Amino acid sequence: MSGLAAAHALHDAGYTVTLFEKSRGVGGRTATRKHAGFIYDHGAQYIKYGNPDSVSLITERFRAPDLIDISKPVWIFNAQGHIQEGDPAQNAEPKWSYRGGITTLAKLMAAHLSIHLETRITRIQQTPSSWQLFTTDKNMGTYDSLLITIPAGQAVDLLRDSQLSSDLQTAITTELLKARYNQLLSIALGYHTRLQVRPYYALVNTDKGHPISWLAWEHEKASERVPAGGSMLIVQMAPSYSQLHRDDPSANLVHEVAELTAALIAEKLPAPDFTDVQPWHYALPVQQADANALNALTISHGLAFCGDAFVGGRVHLALEHGLHVGRQLANNQIG
């Protein structure tokens, strides 16, 4: 999302922008899947209210007719499974998503950009006045400036395989290695029956002592999210649990997570009719690198960095950082 926002900031400043994306779709963890009538967000769960820049992107420039504000609040629970009301101030803020899934925003932002999907850049090469990009077997062109928005660990690997000034390479990797991520297992449990109605949309663990970090009733976002009369839970597991069970067989993982969920909400859950397991390796930035320090070193070389490694995992923060760094890069080119 940070890269998409930066691309628009650069495009607005008059530059031709090309994006390279290793996956089949855009948006990173702002991701939605669809299966047999179930529509579910398996990464980021909603978009928080941010500064005027991100609010304008969501509500004006890329506004979609199916934009929704999730009406029910988020409640909290502790390591013992005690559930109580959440912060009233936070619950009063918008919780934006889309009837068709949170990926709607990414798709709208990508619609008129030049994007090479399923294209993994494996090496970059610095020249006196430009940057060359390569896949494993192809030169993808020469560019005046380069903006890297991938997770910090992947950026370090890319730079180690690349050709640029050794002093610059060392300074960049030193800063990027300060970023740390937690892993996350996201499990979808779909039912063709309606689960018990709750006074909240989701639960979040506040003391980091429970195996479950986040539990959401996905059908509360919109009735279109599930088949008629159906329900869906999104269960996102704590970092320690996610790391320990990352390689478990999906069937075993789903069974255990469903039992943990049933115990937490004190509801006998039927066997799910549909399940999905998504492991996110770079899910939750818990220690950030300093983007200002890093870009101060690199931007005069036509190189910049933005993304969640510098601002954390919230969608609105990624958007805001992308716009900010994109404008910085544009100003450097003008200079």
> What stretch of H or E contains 291?
helix 291-298
Does pLDDT of 118 surpass 70? yes
Amino acid at 207: D
- Separation between Cα atoms, residue 219 and residue 200, nearest integer Å: 12
Question: In angstroms, how far apart are the furthest CA atoms of the chain?
Answer: 65
Is the Cβ–Cβ distance between 94 and 316 less than 8 Å?
no
| Closest C-alpha to 26, from 129, 143, 112, 123 | 112
Residue 89 falls within a domain, yes or no?
Answer: yes
What confidence tens digit (pLDDT) does each residue in 129-159 have? 999 999 999 999 999 999 999 999 999 999 9
Residue 273 and residue 144 in one domain: no
Task: CATH number of the domain at 319, please.
Answer: 3.50.50.60
Indicate if 192 and 90 belong to the same structural domain.
Answer: yes
Shared-domain flag, residues 200 and 100: yes
Going by DSSP bridges, is the β-strand pair 180-191/32-35 parallel, antiparallel, or unpaired?
unpaired
189 vs 37: CA distance, rounded Å: 13
In this structure, are 189 and 274 located in the same domain?
yes
Give the confidence band of 334 by pLDDT, cuts at 50, 70, 90.
low
Q: Copy the structure tokens of residue 131.
A: 């940057």
Q: Is residue 196 pLDDT above 50, yes or no?
A: yes
Query: Strand pairing of 212-217 and 202-205?
Result: antiparallel
Give the domain extent around 132.
2-22+119-179+288-334
Beta pairing, strands 139-143 & 131-134: antiparallel
Of 262, 285, 308, the residue that ends a domain is: 285
Question: pLDDT tier at 284 (50, 70, 90 boundaries)?
Answer: confident
Q: Residues 240, 255: one domain?
A: yes
> Same domain, yes or no, for 242 and 206?
yes
266 in any annotated domain: yes
Domains: count for the chain: 2
The reply to whether 300 and 214 lie within a common domain is no
Is 28 part of a structural domain of the chain? no
Q: By the 8 A CB rule, do 302 and 164 touch?
A: no
Asked whether residue 217 falls in the same domain as residue 312, the answer is no
- The CATH number assigned to the domain holding 226 equals 3.90.660.10
Question: Is 97 a member of any domain?
Answer: yes
At position 303, the amino acid (one-letter code) is L
Residues 251 and 262 in one domain: yes
Give the mean model confidence (pLDDT) for residues 227-241: 97
30 falls within a domain: no
Q: What is the pTM (predicted TM-score) of this model? A: 0.95
Q: What is the pLDDT of residue 335?
A: 45
Q: Are residues 90 and 223 in the same domain?
A: yes
Same domain? 162 vs 197:
no
The percentage of residues in the chain with a pLDDT greater than 90, rounded to a whole number, is: 97
Residue 29 lies in a domain: no
Is 113 contained in some domain? no
Question: Quick one: 308 and 187 in the same domain?
Answer: no
With H, G, I as helix, E, B as strand and everything else as coil, classify residue 11.
Answer: helix
CB 37 within 8 A of CB 227: yes
Check if the beta carbon of residue 130 is closer than 8 Å to that of residue 121.
no
For residue 175, tell me if it sits in a domain: yes
